[in-house]
Chain A
Amino acid sequence: MSAQDSELMELGGKFIKAFHHMIHTVRIHQENNQLMKECIAEFGKVLAQMAGGEELEMLLWRGRFFLQGEKLLYRRETFPLINEMMEYFPQRGLQGLRFHPTFRKASFKDFIIFARLLDEAAMQEDPPSWLESQLADNGLQWLEILREMDDIPPDIELRRKEKAKQTYLQALTTVKEVAQKVSQRSVAGIRKARRLAQTMVDLVLEDETLMLGLSTIRDYDDYTYTHSVNVALLSMSLGRRIGLSQSFLEQLAICGMFHDLGKVEVPKDIITKPDMLNTGEWEHIRRHPLIGVHRVLRLHASRDMRSRVVLGPFGHHLNYDLSGYPRLHFTETLTLFGKILRIADTYDALTAERAYRPRSFSPDEALRMMWEKVGMEYDPILLKTFINMMGLYPVGTVLKLDSGELGLVVDYPSESERTRPQVLLLVDDGQGSLKGSEELNLADRDQKTGSYERQIVKCLHPSVLGIQPSEFFLKEAS
């Protein structure tokens, strides 16, 4: 989350508080009451700050509260307020409110009328129509009500989520198609892959957290394909962090998508073998980067693109110290793409459920394991950047808190605080599964003691709980 977004969220919290305070106070106090005056003044002030000279739109959609098209994150202090809004607005047949810039000319009295009308609307037969006529009668043209609609177009974030989900699924399909074609010795085009990669780049640039959330998708039965798309997402995100240009991010995405083309030809019984591999089986595994190189040569791509894409299959098992596999004869240095893919590939592989491991590693554990091999297997600078990007508890990690609650890491609201994430509390849905509730920032401190309000007790792999973290990220898009 950028500093600007963080500020918006902060202001959003203030706005919802001020609005809540105002609509409650107006029920109790007269307009000459000091508290009433303070409430209105505060609301006007925050409204002006939020709008910044433009109009301001507050909207409820599918159980989430949006300001200016951005979802307001659930925080402990705002969670009950937002919940209350979930009832307040539907009672009045409203989807939301739009404040036109002329609200700046509105008087203290105008705001009081607006708050009272909102309050009284709940008792009307047709609240929206009544409100519209009342607003007109009172000259409050600066306010527009947004009626409840079934087919309201999704806001920017929801559209982005939907697009992200679709892109992921399409990427998955594309990787499968290409892998199958090249393994049948056919030539496969990459036009579609390029278009998808471009969309993925756009999405990573817009919302890295969302894409990292998507990269937690796991498919136990079809591991290789989800793994390929995940590696593409992780690589691109790391590429973005280190400042690669848009077109290089695209190439990196394609490298990630096709880095395991050679693995498609490894017999499935080897990949899913629960026991130790014998020498012959291990040899199959060791060959897959080279087979991948051969398969990339079958891609119907420009010379330049193919030159880059080859680096994916070839380099993703090569270590920083040039150990690993394949054995090198001509190659003397690692490429940046290879080093990035090495990190992304290992991280995704470690955190995935695999047959040959008694248990999968939680995301934080995977990072720690990788950190132990920094400088040997992984480029130190890139691994540092990767861990900083992921946070010590990467998005998709399930945390057990000292409060007894379970939290799914969904974001790091602050760039400077990468050890205390924002979590979505997971609660028992009563049907043997978990559902999301409020969001908490684990960096929040108790105002009196100054200590953190919650401590992390341990991390759990999502599979322990049988959950797919990405489902919580994409909830609104499903």
Chain B
Amino acid sequence: MERFWQQLETFLQAHGNLRFELEKDRLIFQGEAILTEPPEDGNLPFTLFRDGIQWLEFQDGIEAQEIEDFLRILNKYRLLSDEPEGDLVTALWEAELPHIQHHVAEFFWAAEPEAEFTIPPAKEDISSVLSEEEEQEASESEAVAPIDPITLELTPEEEAELQEMVRLEEKRDPTADYLNAVLDSLLELREKENFDPILESLEEEFHDSLARRDFEVTLKILKSLHHVRQICESETTWAIPIIDSFFLTASSSQSLRPLQAAWSEMDAGQIEKMKEILLVLQPEAIHTLGAMLLHTPSLRLQQMLTEVILSLASRDLRPLVAMLDRPEEDLVLKLVQVVGSLGGEKPIQILSKMVHHSSARVREAAVKGLLRRGPDSIKELFHLIDDEDDSVRRLILHHLGQERNEASETLLLQYLEEGNIKGSDDKHIIACFRILGRCGSPRSIPFLRQTLFGKSWMPDLRSPAYRQGAALALKALNIEGAQQVLEDASRSLKPGVRRIARKVMQD
């Protein structure tokens, strides 16, 4: 580029301006065709000729940047563009390249239109107007006061204000004004045929604003339409489904896709703005937001998304429920966590269902969600004490052992008495006894005594873990009766019983 510019500038300094005439298939310099190409898109002469350029001139003093801009424009319009309004000539005009001049042929406009303007005939006879005496003149317009030219002078303050007005206008993004105008016309012309095109344009603006990350605009569109909807609720009910449809489309995965690209680059302010936007959307947005939640490493964003999903799901759980069947464990886990935060009967049903999920983490989250609702849910969840996953089992036990509780004690007593503990996990057995000790009461002492001492007339076939667990439970009960049993056991004739009791008492 640099070399080309230098060569061109050298030429211009030596030979003056370089002007090319354009024909559809030829570039002509000083009457000679220097480039001939078929008149097809992509070829230089045709590209320039197509939009009406008659000649193109490079002038002395040209800057390298001008050449670069020119080539960029040329390249952009080499093929017929789909641009709705622009063309090569427009682009050159806008670029204002001082040393690259061009002339546009007037044939671009085709035939010259006729210039026939009708004006009413003269109201007064011309000769009489010309011969009127001065004294007879009586202006009809005298009723309006004359303007004192002094009042027309701009004060220095007004001059400054005007400059500022222009500066701000040229800097200003017209989108907000445009939206206001469109929304005002929507409310003022409440006719069905007008709603569709306006909402279409708002939809387009919604997508554009998201794509260019102009979240102010996105939010304005959504909030304004909410306002319109409220007004229509009482006066123009037919508009409600149309507006709802807008929100539904806006909440679709396709609409929100641009967010995924923008996600990682958002600052705190943008995240807050985004949250406001998402909160105005329909619950259908959960489909996209859930996926985003899954792929967002930022804890801050995760927190925001979770809050939004929570809010949207509180309006309608169905989109969220539909996603619980998705195969992504992490996604389902996060959504179950959200459901766990929701109040009402429906989330309980969902969580109750999710405790049967194939993923232990999901089950655990579902259990947590249910347990947060109060002690009553433990009865329903107690079966998970046999869950194949240790963490789920521990969760149940942890809950049971939080306080002395008759219901928990009953459940555990029944569980341990039946002895149908799945598998032979000694640790789990011991853990169950420990919890019984924490939540239990004197009511458990007979069972624990019996478990610790065993039946004298027959050998104990159960795991030693039962005996150890019982001793531990008795100790955890921390009541007089239990202590007595342990002391009795420490003096037992059975060495196994005696050893366990003494060890537990010492620990």
Give the chain B neighbours of A387 by CB distance below 8 A.
147, 152
CB distance from B98 to the nearest CB of A (A): 13
Asked if residues B140 and A359 are in contact (CB atoms below 8 Å), the reply is yes
* Interface status of B423 (Cβ within 8 A of chain A): no
Asked if residues B163 and A298 are in contact (CB atoms below 8 Å), the reply is no
Asked if residues B137 and A290 are in contact (CB atoms below 8 Å), the reply is no
Asked if residues B139 and A293 are in contact (CB atoms below 8 Å), the reply is no
Asked if residues A336 and B181 are in contact (CB atoms below 8 Å), the reply is no
Give the chain B neighbours of A291 by CB distance below 8 A.
189
Closest to A427 in B: B130
In the assembled complex, the Cα of A291 lies from the Cα of B191 at a distance in Å of 11
Asked if residues A297 and B154 are in contact (CB atoms below 8 Å), the reply is no
CB distance from A258 to the nearest CB of B (A): 12
Closest to B84 in A: A300
In the assembled complex, the Cα of A424 lies from the Cα of B8 at a distance in Å of 50
CB proximity to B under 8 Å, residues A364-395: 364-365, 367-369, 371-372, 380-382, 384-385, 387-388, 392
In the assembled complex, the Cα of A362 lies from the Cα of B205 at a distance in Å of 44
CB proximity to B under 8 Å, residues A186-202: 189-192, 194-195, 198
Per-residue CB contact flags for chain A residues 443-478 toward chain B (1 = under 8 Å, else 0) read 000000000000001111001111110000000000
Asked if residues A353 and B120 are in contact (CB atoms below 8 Å), the reply is yes
* Interface status of A131 (Cβ within 8 A of chain B): no
Asked if residues A243 and B113 are in contact (CB atoms below 8 Å), the reply is no
Asked if residues A287 and B189 are in contact (CB atoms below 8 Å), the reply is yes
In the assembled complex, the Cα of A300 lies from the Cα of B85 at a distance in Å of 7
CB distance from B249 to the nearest CB of A (A): 18
Q: Taking A195-B108, A242-B166, A303-B204 as contacts, is the C-beta distance between A330 and B147 under 8 angstroms?
A: no
* Interface status of B149 (Cβ within 8 A of chain A): yes
Asked if residues B185 and A294 are in contact (CB atoms below 8 Å), the reply is yes
Closest to A327 in B: B188
Q: Taking A294-B198, A465-B126 as contacts, is the C-beta distance between A326 and B166 under 8 angstroms?
A: no
Asked if residues A384 and B185 are in contact (CB atoms below 8 Å), the reply is no
CB distance from A354 to the nearest CB of B (A): 11
In the assembled complex, the Cα of A172 lies from the Cα of B117 at a distance in Å of 11
* Interface status of B418 (Cβ within 8 A of chain A): no
* Interface status of B87 (Cβ within 8 A of chain A): yes
Per-residue CB contact flags for chain B residues 173-201 toward chain A (1 = under 8 Å, else 0) read 01101111111110111000010011011
Residues of B in contact with A, size category: 35 or more
Asked if residues A335 and B145 are in contact (CB atoms below 8 Å), the reply is no
Give the chain A neighbours of B208 by CB distance below 8 A.
303
Give the chain B neighbours of A362 by CB distance below 8 A.
141
Asked if residues B119 and A220 are in contact (CB atoms below 8 Å), the reply is yes
Q: Taking A248-B170, A384-B158 as contacts, is the C-beta distance between A468 and B117 under 8 angstroms?
A: yes
Per-residue CB contact flags for chain A residues 416-440 toward chain B (1 = under 8 Å, else 0) read 0011000000001000111000000
* Interface status of B96 (Cβ within 8 A of chain A): yes
Give the chain A neighbours of B124 by CB distance below 8 A.
464-465
Asked if residues A371 and B130 are in contact (CB atoms below 8 Å), the reply is no
Per-residue CB contact flags for chain B residues 145-164 toward chain A (1 = under 8 Å, else 0) read 11101011110001001110
Per-residue CB contact flags for chain B residues 68-88 toward chain A (1 = under 8 Å, else 0) read 000000000000000111110
Asked if residues A297 and B201 are in contact (CB atoms below 8 Å), the reply is yes
Q: Which of A222, A307, A381 contacts B177 (CB 8 A)?
A: A307
In the assembled complex, the Cα of A222 lies from the Cα of B118 at a distance in Å of 8
Asked if residues A402 and B134 are in contact (CB atoms below 8 Å), the reply is yes
Asked if residues A194 and B85 are in contact (CB atoms below 8 Å), the reply is yes
Q: Taking A304-B174, A384-B158, A428-B130 as contacts, is the C-beta distance between A170 and B109 under 8 angstroms?
A: yes
Per-residue CB contact flags for chain B residues 371-394 toward chain A (1 = under 8 Å, else 0) read 000000000000000000000000
CB distance from A420 to the nearest CB of B (A): 10
CB<8 Å pairs between A and B, sample of 5 = A169-B113, A303-B204, A304-B174, A392-B149, A460-B129
Q: Which residues of B contact A (CB under 8 A)?
A: 83-87, 89-90, 93-94, 96, 104, 106, 108-109, 112-115, 117-124, 126-127, 129-132, 134, 137, 139-141, 144-147, 149, 151-154, 158, 161-163, 165-166, 169-170, 174-175, 177-185, 187-189, 194, 197-198, 200-201, 204-205, 208, 224
Taking A310-B182, A380-B158, A463-B122 as given, write out 5 further A-B residue pairs in contact, using a Cβ cutoff of 8 Å, ordered by the A residue number.
A169-B112, A326-B188, A329-B183, A388-B152, A418-B152
User: What are the 3 tightest A-B residue pairs by CB atom distance, in nearest-first order?
Assistant: A466-B122, A307-B178, A365-B141
